Amino acid sequence: GVLGGVLLYIGLVLGSTPFLLGVSTDYEGTAGAIVQSTLVVACWLAERFLVRGASLPRLQSWACATCWFGSTIISWAGPRPYDDMSLGLEGQIAGCDGGFRSPFLLYATVWLTAVIFGTLFLFCPESPPEPESKTTSSLNVAEKDAVPHAFRRKALPVIYGFATSMSGILFATGDARDELYFVVLGALLLVLAVLCAWDFLWRLELNLCSFGSAFQGFAIFLRAVQSHAVFRDLRWDPDKVSGLLVVHKFPGLQLFIFGMFIMFVSIQFYLFTSHWKGWQDGPVDEALQSSREDEYFGISSRRVTRYSSRWQWALLVICIVCQQIGIHAPLIHTECTLPSITLVHDQSATIQEFHSAGGTGYYQIKGSHPATAKGYHFSQGESYIYVINWLYHRRLPCSALVASYNAMVLPPLQFMLIFIILLRPRAIPNDLIHTLQVYVMNLAPMRFTQPCIMMLIVGIANMQVENGNQFSTLTFGGHFTHGYWYFLTYCFSTIILAWSVQPDETEEPALDKVSADDGFEVANGGKHYNANREMSVERALIAEKALMRQKRGDSDSEDSDLEGSGAKPLHLLGGLVGVVFTIVAVYLALTQQYLYFEFRVAGVAVHKWTPTSLDLWFSIGSVSKVLMVFSAATLIFLPLAWIVLFGLRMMLDNHDSYLGDMVLRFEPALRPWVMCHIWAASLVLIYYIVTSRNKAEVEVCAKIPERPIGLVAIMCMGAGTYGLLAFAKFVTKPASAPTQNKMPSLPGGPLVWVLGPMVTMAACVLTLSTHGPTRPPAVNSVQDINHAFSSMLPKVNNKFYNDIMPSYGDCKALSDYQQQQGILHLAAMSQSCAGSGPIAAHEQTMGGHKIAASALWATGLNTLELVDVVVDSPGDATAGTQMWYMDIRGVFRDLHIYMQVLVDGKAWYKDYICCDKTFHFTLQAAVPCQPGLGFGTMQLNLLHMDKIDTSQQKQIMDGPAWAALITDSGRQEMIMQVVNDFWNLKTGKLFLRAFNNKTEDALHTVSNILSDVVKLNTGHHCATHF
């Protein structure tokens, strides 16, 4: 035993060599992980041929095969981390204001709690095998406080998985930072892993085959989860690389998810069946005893589909179809609507005249008519399948793994379990069937978490702007797509299916009824019960429990009845306290401030929300009344109705009255629709989603309010509702039902093993949340503003190229010209030009002749690139009026302006005059700011413009009228005046039209936005320091 423990420790250390050498992300690390996966096969071979020398139970063989297959796929096809391990905890900084990323925070909390209490758990006293003839009341105190074998079998592989997975990260961090401290911690974790293996093999006397499948399965699965929670840069091999161990993103991503599905199913199966004799190191006959007992209880292949109905199979098909459509179609669309920008050529135009103009003399930058302009939409809405790939690309692997779990791991498992419950094959024992029934019922309501999160996102997106003129022309929003309704249908049908496969709580036949009706034949003190093979599993279990109670004697039954009658008032009191606590929590959760949200661009807050949960509720209703009614029903009305039914069930004798019978039937049916805990989880997950993001140019940030009453109430609402539902299941559970997930009697009791982990996790979350790495303010001076502008210029220029109309001006004249030249089709022209009149015009009288020059149109506007944007500070923060200047330097790569010059109404010049070369310009925006009032109206001035070369244009007509225009300088002066008037907006006005058709002066609106943004970020109308 000691030698085996030493050898195992040496093997674990050698398995960590790729982390110690810093090659865990190389192909050597992949090869090492694949070799480690063969540990399962080695354990099976050693147990089969060296230890036992005989055949193993099929349960162990199948478990080893699936574990080896799944772990090999994960090790080979999974992504590899490329994070800089030398950063240590600093590498876990989140976006916005910093702090630890929420995936790391949660994983570190769970890991620390598991290691601390897992270590304590190893030193708990072990119970001897429980004698079949000995009742619980006759056990001594030490035996009652000992840990049951079944619970220890579940706990040891989990502790082993946490220890081995984190040891690899500690080794890699110690190697990258050259710090022995991390290496020592990793080595200690491997000691803990060896102790778990020792406890499993030596104290529990389980065999190598069970050890290999259970321990390796948990280790590989938790290591994959850990990689997605701790690292953020997970990649597959580049497409250009090839080799035996090379895996590209396609099909690597699909294979990895498939491997995770296999491992998840294997782990769940082990947790469900860890108490089976098939995992023990006993003869094969004992391992097959449970299936033979099933045959004895009348479970034969002839009743394969006896306990299912056709409508259940049809609903299962509908459920699968809706789920597949839901994950392949977008669920929601979120959008940001920018105002449409319109240039009115008349400088004296007013907003009222613009509304009544009907489109005469305007330029709509986005190409829509002013009367119908809806602005420009930045929309985002992708399917689950696309989002998974996108999240990996955006360095959000934990979110990608969660999306994969919700879309491609958990639903197939659900369908498979419901299929097994409906089919009920002979090989599945009764206790496992009951476990699966409880599992799918617990799992079904949680499927509403994703639709609830989507509802909350749409609700947040549709919240109204809170203060003043800030972004009065900017609209955020969202709506639900058809994919959402398919996914919601899948969630509804999942609950109905899960409820339909539950055992009927009203069917509790007495022992004599079983004897008469079912003919169950069991020898029991001279009594015989004849059984036919059509008897239901539930009734058979009830009969078995009744016979066991009779074997123990009537005295035990009487004691149990007295104990139950005395416990009923305590149950009523406990339920009443839980109901009052939950109702108060729901009220506070709905009415108190939820979170503080900010929408930031380059670190500057430009928009804020401070909603309550009730505000989000009404915001959802502004998009869909149906979903608002669903929210109200599952959060308020159905929980209240269920509380009434549950109270009646506690007080009434459910078998002696019609009302009691109805309550007994409807209370379990209504219980799954109590979703206060689902809404609480969804509200908390919104905060998790926001804080899991990395730093970005455009980001949504969330902060906990100074008085977090609302958020605390939300968590209390979830805990209270979950506790009430668990309490209801406990007090209404039939006496004959098998016990599931019963908390063992551990030394110290619930105070240590329930309250202890809860306090530890709360302390870890609080400590890590308040002591994480922080980011300095993104904007602390004018230099920071200029840096922010510089960082945004590439994206802005890309938007210019993709979103600005290539041409504007007199689109009809441009269309006629291009058709004459045979350049462009009319339909294509309508999609690339906006406007109905010249972009600029200038008139003057020279030598008694009227000369009119106008720029009819311009092409190549989408070749605009901003070279630099520089803000100049006023210099004196205490001045009565601060004057702010912003210089904008830009260049047109392919700008062409078509000019027309008329002399006395006759065409003298009609052609392009600009620009064979890149065209540079510099604009200056000037805006005053008065303390206490904010920014005034912005003014634009043209500081510099490249000289327009017109010497190559030779279209001169006879006559004395334009002698001043014959020279290049004369033409240059006229053309420069026209273009200068356009740049300074001296020939018209810019108007903004928002989604609600509200129109405002563009430059005045920009000034209002500046006032609100400065007030939001500094607390003052004007900046107090530069």
Question: In this predicted model, what pLDDT tens digit does every residue of 380-398 receive, in sequence order?
Answer: 678 888 889 989 998 889 9
Q: Determine the Cα–Cα distance for residues 386 and 458; give it in Å rounded to an integer.
A: 19
Which of the given ranges, 476-485, 500-509, 776-785, has the highest pLDDT on average? Answer: 476-485
Looking at per-residue confidence, does 732 or 482 come out higher?
482
Query: Which pLDDT value is given to residue 465?
Result: 62
The DSSP result for 118-170, as a single string, is HHHHHTSPBPPPPPTT--GGGS-HHHHHSBPHHHHHHHHHHHHHHHHHHHHHH
Query: Which pLDDT value is given to residue 385?
Result: 85
Which helix (DSSP H) or strand (DSSP E) does residue 591 occupy?
A: helix 554-591
pLDDT over threshold 70, residue 709: yes
Q: Determine the Cα–Cα distance for residues 914 and 859; give it in Å rounded to an integer.
A: 10
341 token code pair: 């920008």
Query: Which pLDDT value is given to residue 462?
Result: 85
Q: Which residues contact 679 (CB under 8 A, 6 or more apart)?
A: 452, 631, 634, 635, 717, 718
Write down the residue that tokens 């912005």 correspond to: 938
With residues binned 3-state (H G I as helix, E B as strand, rest as coil), the percentages for the chain, rounded to 5, are: 55, 15, 30
Write down the residue that tokens 């004395």 correspond to: 960
Full 3-state SS string of 845-908: EECCEEEEEEEEEEECHHHEEEEEEEEECCCCCCCCCEEEEEEEEEEECCCEEEEEEEECCEEE
Q: What is the pLDDT of residues 421-468, one digit of tens each?
A: 998 887 788 888 888 998 999 999 999 999 999 999 999 888 876 554
**What stretches of 895-1001 show up as alpha helix (H) in DSSP?**
963-966, 968-983
For residue 244, how many C-alpha atoms fall within 13 Å in the half-sphere facing its CB?
5
Tell me the Cα Rg of the chain.
Answer: 37
Closest C-alpha to 190, from 371, 19, 11: 11
Q: What is the mean pLDDT of residues 21-49?
A: 83
> Would you tell me how many other CB atoms lie within 10 Å of the CB of residue 624?
17
Strand 989-993 with 896-903, pairing: unpaired
- Are the CB atoms for 318 and 965 separated by under 8 Å? no
Q: How confident is the model at residue 348 (pLDDT cuts 50, 70, 90)?
A: low
Q: Determine the Cα–Cα distance for residues 491 and 485; give it in Å rounded to an integer.
A: 10
Is the bond into 209 cis (omega within 30 degrees of 0)?
Answer: no
% pLDDT > 70, the chain: 74
- Which has the minimum average pLDDT: 345-354, 387-396, 523-532, 742-751? 523-532
Q: In residues, how long is the chain?
A: 1026
- Are the CB atoms for 399 and 406 separated by under 8 Å? no
Q: Is the pTM of this model over 0.85?
A: no
The DSSP result for 451-520, as a single string, is HHHHHHHHHHHTPPP-STTTTTT-EEEEEE-HHHHHHHHHHHHHHHHHHHTS--TT----HHHIIIII--
Closest C-alpha to 867, from 917, 923, 914: 923
Q: Determine the Cα–Cα distance for residues 544 and 521; give it in Å rounded to an integer.
A: 11
Q: What is the pLDDT of residues 114-158, one digit of tens each?
A: 999 999 998 887 554 444 444 444 444 444 444 457 788 899 999
Closest C-alpha to 435, from 269, 246, 202: 269
Query: Which pLDDT value is given to residue 139?
Result: 42
Query: Which pLDDT value is given to residue 950?
Result: 54
Q: Determine the Cα–Cα distance for residues 995 and 363; give it in Å rounded to an integer.
A: 18
Q: Determine the Cα–Cα distance for residues 634 and 856; give it in Å rounded to an integer.
A: 62
Dihedral, 613, 617, 619, 622 alpha carbons, nearest 10: -170
Q: Determine the Cα–Cα distance for residues 923 and 919; give it in Å rounded to an integer.
A: 13
**DSSP letter (8 states) at residue 407:** I
pLDDT over threshold 80, residue 830: no
Q: What is the pLDDT of residues 628-640, one digit of tens each?
A: 999 999 999 999 9
Looking at per-residue confidence, does 1025 or 110 come out higher?
110
Q: How confident is the model at residue 533 (pLDDT cuts 50, 70, 90)?
A: very low
Q: What is the pLDDT of residues 847-871, one digit of tens each?
A: 677 888 888 888 888 888 889 989 8
Q: Which amino acid is at 1006?
A: V
pLDDT over threshold 50, residue 1013: yes
pLDDT over threshold 60, residue 48: yes
